[in-house]
Structure 1
Amino acid sequence: MITPQNNPAIPDICHQPGLTRLEDALRIAFDEVNIRATVMEAPISNCYGAILRKDIVARVDVPSADNSAMDGYAFCHADLQELVGTGDAQITVGGVSLAGHPFAGKIPQGQAIRIATGASIPDGADCIIIQENVTANADETLLIVSRDVIAKTVLHQHIRRRGEDVVTGVVVLPAGKRLRPQDIAVAAGQGYQSLPISRPLSVAVFSTGDELAKPGDPLPPGGIYDSNRFAMIGMLRACGCEVTDLGLLADDFDVLKSALKDAAETHDVIMTSGGVSVGKADLLKPVVDSLGEIQAWKLAIKPGKPLMRGRIGDCVVIGLPGNPVSVMVSGLLYAVPLLLHMMGAAEAVCTPVRLPAIAGFDFKRGTGRREWLRARLAQDDDGNWLAIPYHSASSGMLSSMVWAEGLIEIAEDCGQVKKGDTVLYLPFGGLQAF
């Protein structure tokens, strides 16, 4: 087990011996676990949410030519300047420029060209007057332009310049990015039909606990339905993994050993829920130790302290706690970033969004572990956004995650929060598995 006590490179800021701070645990994991996902070329329509593995370079300028930002009329600014102070002007319309059908030739001196949004600017034109600011006759061959409009027209007005959005040769999408709809659109706008992305990691998932029952089965005395497995599957699929559901496994050493041995041979990762604490029925840790090695155990976090990372051969094993809120919090803040790293994601992609918010609560606790409170934002009478925690900190209340819209982060050395203090708020929308 790697801790500050046996690795001097890790700062020992936790008050509880043997616990590792979250960012230190992730840094160690990123160093010890290589990128596992291979690269594949996929059609851009299949790349949403995938991790990009190579820089994408612009092939064309955007726009590819100077074009109009508005529907209106193209002019030579110098021609208009000659009309300043002469009163309202009557100007002939010498042609039309449409998107995909540009005006051929040079704008005739002293004339205007009818132009549509996105259409190329005619040769010799260098400003646009929008159609609402002129009066045209019925067949749009003649314009009346008021002296005020002429006086206010400036050079390059309402013109998008070639390359003002994207210049050929620049990196438009960096490697390591998780591809969003706008990213796919930019790639398509550069003519890319396919992109180099990570193949999904293969992850085997199961829950342990003799008290668990499958949804739909009769509940045994004192039993509960397994919900953790479905939370894990959802988080894994949301971050781009292919999941094999191994179901429920009994609290039996030989059963667990056989299942993990088989899964490790055919999967990149095994993720489990339960069995990682120190009770007699918590067998996952000794099973992994018998097949491979434990590389990290116990983090200075709440909820989710009994979290394990190990390996069996080349397969990474992540053991999440048994309490449902602990599964989700430790899954979102440790397991998902590690999986994204294994798929080649950039560090920024692996880091949750943290926003400042005003505490709408008082809170007191002992220090030593970083803690996350399930929370949502609410506006006060002055329009300020306040972070409001759930009424209970119990890690067994899964419904609190349904109520919540994010997490309030309490640092290891913070023992008290007062109303009005600034706190860090992690919206679920800024976590990669939501």
Structure 2
Amino acid sequence: MNDICFPPQNTLLSAEQALSRIQQTLAPIATIESVELSSALGRILATDVFASIDMPPQPNAAMDGYAFAAAGLCGDAEFSLRVVGTAWAGKPFTGSLAHGECVRIFTGAVVPETADSVVAQEQTRVEADRVYFAAPCLFQKNIRSAGSDFKRQERLIAAPKKLSPRDISLLAAAGISTVEVKSRLRIGYFSTGDELAPLGSALAIGQIYDSNRYLLAALLEDPNFMANDLGVVKDDPAALEAMLVQAAAQHDALISTGGASVGDADYVKQILEKCGQVHFWKLAIKPGKPLAFGKISDCWFFGLPGNPIAVLVTYNKFVKPGLDRLLGASPAKTLQISARSDSDLRKVPGRSEYQRGVLRQLDNGEFAVTAAGTQDSHQLKVASVANCFIVLSAECDGVKRGDWVLVEPFSLEL
């Protein structure tokens, strides 16, 4: 059975074909800049980072206890050693450590040069200036060797990588205060349509509030982007052309919503053809069929549909990977997991679909998903309830309750 509302499948690009074309067409354009480590979270590392020191710089204690040299001692019977000093983190023991002596030591403190063992304080008892070690006592343990985390000249992080909080901590531990990262992309976004009203105004008959620009603003909240809200362009081809030409000269990429379909007032594709290039237009997906991808001068253009759920789908599936490609970021594969459907899902063969679902993990570790509601592409409340896309292939003719489906979580928190 075919989707009778749309042309045959062979006239449309699949999601995989569209993404492949985007990746093959785009090339990294970002330059390099140096930023303070405190501002580097989420940025794309531009050059490999190497350590200039060993970490830890000296052997240190892995726990609170007592440090000593094990030579001549027997760990199979209780023995005692005389305490001759204390080693604190940041304040090492500076005396000499002879046979039969030990040092009170705290986690992270430098181990005295002649010591090769640290025993936890819980395995000892103290009487006056002597410490008694219970048998059996394990020697040559609980010392972090110099360079056991990383060594001088070792590569710490390979570019390109989006710097995570863990990366920031690693670089700080290595004493690195600045890093080279990819420069930010200049991205302009706008909505089209006479029906769009600004927030704070009363709706006239036939009007709706412009939610798409707020959706795009949230999606573009990324430290690698300088996003510029270009407002709303009315359904006027001359105004749209003027906007595109002017904005293209000031941005690396433009994103529009609305006006990309085939209606009498949908001008995006024809204006893009007039002042630039159209690389593709229609996709075999739902929601999100009318997506225009092209270029105006040196600026890349993504013309998204007007329905807000279609904006959400097409941004995540096509625009974000395209922007990452322009940045020169490492390609990211979308996490997909299998879940048992707790709902019957309606689906007509012909286009792949991204239905909105509520994913949860069961006590046995398996996943189950329920439809978040009806699947019309204007329903933002359903999208707000959802925490995943249920991915249905073009060939799928529906899902019965209990069937296994692929889902793409919106985040790792359910």
Do the two structures share a fold, i.e. TM-score over 0.5? yes
1:36 is the counterpart of 2:29: yes
Correspondence for 1:405 among 383, 387, 392: 387
Q: Which residue of 2 is the match for residue 99 of structure 1?
A: 89
CA gap of 1:357–1:122, structure 2 versus 1, over 3 A, is: farther
Q: From the superposition, tell whether residues 324 and 263 of structure 1 become closer, same or farther in structure 2 (CA, over 3 Å).
A: same
**Structure 2 residue aligned with 1:144:** 132
Structure 2 length normalisation: TM-score?
0.92
- 1:360 matched residue in structure 2: 342
- Whether the 8 Å CA contact 1:200–1:241 is kept in 2: the answer is yes
Larger CA deviation: 156-165 vs 173-182: 156-165
1:219 aligns with one of 203, 207, 224: 203
Tell me the CA shift for residue 247 of structure 1: 0.9
SS of the equivalent of 2:324 reads helix
Q: Distance in 2 between matches of 1:245 and 1:213?
A: 15
Matches of 1:192 and 1:413 in 2, distance apart? Answer: 52
Task: Please say if 1:341 is aligned against 2:325.
Answer: yes
Structure 1 counterpart SS, 2:67: strand
Residues 22/154 of structure 1: CA separation in 2 closer, same or farther (3 Å cut): farther
Verify: 1:115 aligned to 2:105, yes or no.
yes
**Is the CA contact 2:355–2:389 (under 8 Å) kept in the aligned structure 1?**
yes
Distance between the aligned counterparts of 1:137 and 1:223, measured in 2?
85
CA distance 1:174–1:281, change in 2 (3 Å): same
Give the C-alpha shift of residue 428 in structure 1: 1.6
Cα shift at 1:169: 2.6
Does 2:20 match 1:27?
A: yes
2: distance between equivalents of 1:194 and 1:209? 45
Contact residue 345 and residue 371 of structure 2 kept, 8 A: no
> After superposition, what is the alpha-carbon deviation per residue over 1:364-389, rounded to whole angstroms, capped at 9, x for unaligned?
42333322221222355756431222
The question of 1:230 aligning with 2:199 is answered no
* Structure 1 CA distance for aligned equivalents of residues 338 and 140 of structure 2: 41
Q: What is the DSSP-based 3-state SS (H/G/I as helix, E as strand, rest coil) of the residue aligned with 1:178?
A: coil
User: 3-state DSSP class of the match of 2:280?
Assistant: strand
Moved more, 371-380 or 274-283: 371-380
Quote the Cα distance in structure 1 between the aligned partners of 2:156 and 2:390. 34
The 1:64–1:420 alpha-carbon spacing in structure 2 relative to 1, beyond 3 Å, is farther
Q: What is aligned with 2:4? A: none
Q: Residues 94 and 108 of structure 1 are in contact (CA less than 8 Å); yes or no, is this contact kept in structure 2? A: no
Matches within 5 A, 1:286-365: 286-348=270-332, 351-365=333-347
> Does the C-alpha gap of structure 1 residues 49 and 112 become closer, same or farther in structure 2, counting only changes over 3 Å?
same
CA contact (8 A) 1:295 1:310 kept: yes
Q: Write out aligned runs for 1:166-245 (5 A).
A: 166-238=150-222, 240-245=224-229
Contact 2:184/2:223, CA 8 A, preserved across alignment: no
Q: Which residue of 2 aligns with 1:154?
A: 138
Contact persistence 2:348–2:397 (CA under 8 A): yes
Paired residue type of 1:353: L
Quote how far apart the aligned CAs of 1:26 are. 2.0
Q: How does 1:70-81 map to 2 (within 5 A)?
A: 70-81=63-74
- Partners of 1:422 and 1:293 lie apart in 2 by 41
Partners of 1:363 and 1:246 lie apart in 2 by 38
C-alpha distance in 1, partners of 2:38/2:146? 28
Distance across 2 between alignment mates of 1:393 and 1:324: 12
Query: Which structure 2 segments of 5+ residues have no match?
Result: 1-6
Number of equivalent positions:
407
8 A Cα contact 2:339 2:405, kept in partner: yes
Corresponding residue for residue 76 of structure 2 = 84
The one-character-per-residue Cα deviations of 1:32-76 (angstroms, maximum 9, x if unpaired) are 112122111111111111111111122222222221111111122
Matched, 1:371 2:359: no
State which of 68, 76, 81 in structure 1 corresponds to 2:61.
68
Partner of 1:17: 10
Per-residue deviation at 1:417? 3.4
Cα RMSD for the two superposed structures: 2.2
C-alpha distance 165-16 of structure 1, shift in aligned 2 (>3 A): same
Name structure 1 gaps, 5 residues minimum.
1-13
Cα 1:103/1:79, change in 2 over 3 Å: farther
Distance in structure 2 (CA, Å) of the matches to 1:381 and 1:28: 42
1:92: Cα distance to partner?
0.9
The amino acid of 1:51's aligned partner reads I
CA distance in 2, matches of 1:241, 1:49: 11
How far apart, in 1, do the equivalents of 2:365 and 2:13 lie? 39
Q: Does 1:284 align with 2:268?
A: yes
Quick one: which of 46, 51, 54 aligns to 1:53? Answer: 46
Letter of the structure 1 residue corresponding to residue 49 of structure 2: I
Paired amino acid for 1:356: S
Structure 1 pair 154–378 and aligned structure 2 pair: CA distance change class (3 A): same
Q: Distance in 2 between matches of 1:317 and 1:408?
A: 28
2 CA distance for matches of 1:421 and 1:69?
A: 51
- Secondary structure class of the residue paired with 1:429: coil
CA pair 228-63 structure 1, distance change in 2 beyond 3 A = same
Please say which of residues 396-405 and 274-283 is displaced more in the overlay: 396-405
Counterparts in 2 of 1:381 and 1:176: CA distance versus 1, 3 Å: closer
Aligned-pair CA distance for 1:18: 2.3
Distance 1:72 1:249, change over 3 A: same
- Report deviation, 1:344: 1.3
- Look up the match of 2:237: 253
Q: Is the 8 A contact 2:81 2:100 kept in 1?
A: yes
Deviates more, 1:49-58 or 1:357-366: 357-366
Which deviates the most, 71-80 or 309-318?
71-80
